[in-house]
Amino acid sequence: MIDWKKILIPVSAIVILLLLWELLVWVMGWPDYKMASPSDLWPAFLRYQELFWLYGWQTLWRTVVGLGVAVVFGTLLGMIMGLSKVMNDALYPLLVGFNAIPKATVVPVIALMFVGQHDFNTILMAFMISFFPIAVSVAIGLSTLEPEYRDILRSLGASRMTVFWKIALPKTLPEFFGALKVAVTLAFIGTNLVEIITPHGRGLGHLFQSAQTNSDFPLMFAVLLALAALGIVLYYAVVALEYIFAGWAVRTAH
Amino acid sequence: MENLIDIKGVTHAYKTKAGPFPVLRDLNIAIPQHSFCAVVGPSGCGKSTLTRLIAGLMFPDQGEVWLHGELVKSPRKTVGMAFQNPVLLEWRTILQNVILPLEIVAPSMPKAQKEARAKELLALVGLEGFENKRPSELSGGMRQRASLCRALVHKPDIIILDEPFGALDAFTREDLWQTMHQLRAKEPFTALLITHDLRESVYLGDQVVVLSGRPATTQYVMQVDVPGPRPLEMLYEPETVERLAVLRREIQIAQGRAVA
């Protein structure tokens, strides 16, 4: 059975927010270049509908591919760090330093390194910005496994690999999905960063850029809203995956 | 009778930056087959080290651990373990949790046979009908019962119990003590129990070994010649009270609070 309350409450919250926004702009009498109101956005959406779908798709698939690479790389890195104390000590400061570099400064660097490889650059940035939380959470999940869990299987002569597959890995899944929720938003930011800073005619970031160039303020706000909507879709896709693969942890929490 | 476990002159120290940190010194324990040995001693005296040595997860600096006439040199498939924390796997059902050791020890055993064996044990400890529940849906006492089933499912030579009843409330603990006697009556096994509870050691143990303070050595061994399954009333008999008084005094000596 569908719990209508669960859908109705967040949807009403969105509607109320839009109404307040509309009211604020109307009361203050702001022109659309200061703050566009929701009623200005709809015409902008309709006028550029095809571009929204096309660019939205480009932003979406590059984010998902970047995130996918981050999941594979971050998990492997987390495994190495979680299972080896030496590797953890060696890699942790490097990772923290890498993560501390503002990614906006890296965009021109990779744009010069891989000139014209726009899809590749965008995916690379989405990956670079989002693998850190995944690696850290997997590493922590593996290294904080209580010794009793290990002993139960080790005392039966099970190999390290068996302990890893049967216990350590599934036990890390809740932490992994917690990190993935952070990573999915980061990857999305990474994609848009590249689309806006190095204009190459692709993605919602490009639509934002051209709206700015043409002083089409309602379109700029409409793009922001589309980005928010896409972000919500991506986030809840991760939540759905979490429910499928680590539903036992979600249910335990209640 | 041949001893199933023979711990002979075991001495062990952990290596730390400040030098060796001795935990066991010339420790001797002998456990005959199908007998129940309770080990008590002051906090931090090396009891958990002892369990890891028997399980073959660690090896002593000096001395020998013999299991079933073989020197313990590596982990073996003939040990079952249960801890204070039941450490059940949250993503498995109770039945699948109990089966876990069989997946390692007898991977070729048909699934139906594994499940039948697990169900048989779950019924023995009163968990019939809970096979498909998740650990989070069970009470602490029930989780510990499931953990005992997992320790026994592969018919180990010995089960090592590291304070499995320590975190339970008093009534649940007494229930589980009785369950242990019922299990032993149905399916004899050899056990080594680490505990802080003297009543528990006398009620469950065929022998009670008192360890000294660190580094631990065998300070005192008490035989409890009462056949099982023992009724709970045994706890209130004068002989039990006398035994408890003797053990209490031995613990005080071990703690350095009384002289022998």
As given in the structure block, the two tokens for residue B101 are: 């050791």
Domain-located, residue A235: yes
Each residue's pLDDT tens digit, A112-143:
888 888 899 999 999 999 999 999 999 998 88
Average of pLDDT values for A93-103? Answer: 92
Contact B104 A154 (CB under 8 A): no
User: How far, in Å, CA of A73 to CA of A65, rounded?
Assistant: 12
User: Are B196 and B44 in contact, with CB atoms under 8 Å apart?
Assistant: no
Residues of A with CB under 8 A from a CB of B: 146, 148-149, 151-158, 162, 166-167, 170-171, 173, 246, 248-249, 251-252
Q: Do A84 and A200 fall within a single domain?
A: yes
Contacts A153 to B, Cβ<8 Å:
100-101, 104
In tens, the pLDDT along B150-164 reads 999 999 989 999 999
- Write phi, then psi, for A198 (nearest 5 degrees): -110, 90
Contact between B241 and B259 under an 8 Å Cβ cutoff? The reply is no
Distance CA B94, CA A37 (A): 56
A51, A90: one domain: yes
- Model pLDDT for residues A32-82, shown as the tens digit of each residue: 888 888 888 888 889 999 999 999 999 999 999 999 999 999 999 999 998
Tell me the average pLDDT of chain B: 90
Question: For A205-230, what is the mean pLDDT?
Answer: 91
Cis amide prior to A10 (ω within 30 degrees)? no
Whether A157 and A239 map to the same domain: the answer is yes
Hey, which residues does B36 pair with through a beta bridge? B191
| Total number of domains in chain A | 2
State the average pLDDT for chain A: 90
Domain of A5, in residue numbers: 1-30
Q: What is the CATH classification number for the domain harbouring A80?
A: 1.10.3720.10
- State pLDDT tens for residues B65-114: 998 888 888 888 889 999 999 999 999 999 999 999 999 999 899 999 99
With a cut of 50, say whether residue B135 has pLDDT above it. yes
Residues A97 and A5 in one domain: no
Tell me: pLDDT of A253 over 70: no
Nearest residue, CB atoms, A156 vs list B75, B87, B134: B75
pLDDT for B255 beyond 70? yes
For B44, which DSSP code? T
When pLDDT is cut at 50, 70 and 90, the band that residue A1 belongs to is: low
Taking an 8 Å cut-off on Cβ atoms, the answer to whether A155 and B89 are in contact is no
Q: Tell me whether residues B57 and A246 touch, CB distance under 8 A.
A: no
Cβ A45 vs Cβ A109: under 8 Å: no
Long-range Cβ pairs for the range A168-172 (8 Å, 24+):
A168/A82, A168/A141, A168/A142, A170/B89, A170/B91, A171/A141, A171/A145, A171/B89, A171/B90, A172/A82, A172/A137, A172/A138, A172/A141, A172/A142
Mean pLDDT for the stretch of residues A198-216? 88
ipTM of predicted assembly, 2 dp: 0.80
- Four-residue CA torsion sign, A56, A62, A68, A70: negative
Structure tokens at B240: 């039990």
Report DSSP letters for B11-30, one per residue.
Answer: EEEEEETTEEEEEEEEEEEE
**Most A-contacting residue of B104, B157, B159 (CB-CB within 10 A), to test interface:** B104
Does B89 sit within 8 Å of A167, measured CB to CB? yes
User: Which of B85, B87, B90 is the closest to A248 by Cβ?
Assistant: B90
CA distance A40 to A26: 12
Task: Assess contact for B14 and B185: CB atoms under 8 A.
Answer: no
The Cα–Cα gap between A69 and A112 comes to 22
Q: Is the pLDDT of residue A254 over 50?
A: no
For residue A32, give Cα distances in angstroms to A20, A168, A215, A222.
16, 55, 10, 12
Would you call A112 helix, strand, or coil by DSSP?
helix
Higher pLDDT, B251 or B260: B251
DSSP at B71:
E
Sequence ranges of chain B with CATH classification 3.40.50.300: 1-78+159-176+190-260
Structure tokens at A67: 């995130």
CA distance B182 to B178: 6
- What is residue A251's predicted lDDT score, i.e. its pLDDT? 64
Under the banding of pLDDT at 50, 70 and 90, the label for residue A5 is confident
Pairing outcome for strands B190-194 and B36-40: parallel
For residue A115, CA distances in Å to A118, A123, A198, A228, A253 come to 8, 14, 11, 30, 48
Paired residues of A150 in beta bridges: none
The dihedral through the CA atoms of B122, B126, B130, B136 has a sign that is: negative
Which residue in A146, A149, A151 is closest to B57 by CB distance?
A151
CA distances from A22 to A25, A28, A232 (A): 5, 10, 22
B89 neighbors B100 (Cβ within 8 angstroms): yes
* Closest-CA distance of chain B to residue A137, Å: 19
A106 and A199 fall within a common domain: yes
Residues A117 and A238 in one domain: yes
- What CATH number does the domain located at B1-78+159-176+190-260 have? 3.40.50.300
Residues A154 and A220 in one domain: yes
Looking at residue A53, the DSSP 8-state letter turns out to be H
Specify if A22 maps to a domain. yes
Q: How far is CA A211 from the centre of its chain?
A: 24
Contact flag A151-B90 (C-beta cutoff 8 Å): no
Identify whether A35 is part of a domain. Answer: no
- pLDDT at residue A252 in the model: 55
* Long-range own/partner contacts, residues A111-117 (CB < 8 A, 24 or more apart): A111/A194, A111/A197, A111/A198
Band (A6; pLDDT cuts 50, 70, 90): confident
Residue A138 domain-assigned?
yes
User: What is the b/e burial string over B140-176, where b = at least 16 CB atoms within 10 angstroms of the residue's CB?
Assistant: ebbbbbbbbbbbbbbebbbbbbbbbbbebeeebbbbb
Task: Sort residue A65 into left (φ over 0), alpha (ψ -120 to 50) or beta.
Answer: alpha
Q: What digits encode the pLDDT tens for the residues B218-239?
A: 999 999 998 878 998 999 999 9
